[in-house]
Amino acid sequence: MATAYQNLSSYDLNRIPDASKMRVGIIVSEWNSSITEKLLEGACNTLEKHGILHDNIPVFRVPGSFELTFGAQQVAKYGDVDAVIVLGCVVRGDTPHFDYVCEGVTEGVARLNSTQDIPVIFGLLTTDNMQQAEDRAGGKSGNKGDESAITAIKMIDFICKLKK
């Protein structure tokens, strides 16, 4: 979704399934913590707003965005959760490091979604500068954490409907 066309925090309240029995694990990167902590706050607030108890939102921190994939894999395997959200922020610099990290996390999360039995939600900001990150972490473009939380709820509901 392009944030130029839609606020990350906007969604139709009438289209959100009951989340009261759900359990969602969150993996958050410590790198760019001024941004990732805002993403985490947005995700947790949104999950709780839709009925998930605070105790059913285990949060795990990893050093950087590249480690999000491994963290998500371990929580999917051992965390007794219905979905995993990864939250991180990579800001473009002067070297190709940005491209390697973004590609690695993107491919890693895609691979987890094809190999795990629970959804892994991509909440990684990939921005050209810190202002864009701030805009997407509770600023003028909303909060990617909110969007990730809503996506997790909807994907858990999707799986529950398939299993009926």
The residues assigned a catalytic role are 97
Residues 6 or more apart from 108 whose CB is under 8 A from it?
68, 69, 70, 72
Degrees, nearest 5: CA angle 43-46-49: 150
Helix/strand/coil for 48: helix
Identify the three-state secondary structure at position 22: coil
CA contacts within 13 A on the Cβ side of 155 = 20
For residues 27 and 60, the answer to whether their CB atoms sit within 8 Å is yes
Integer Rg of the chain from CA:
15
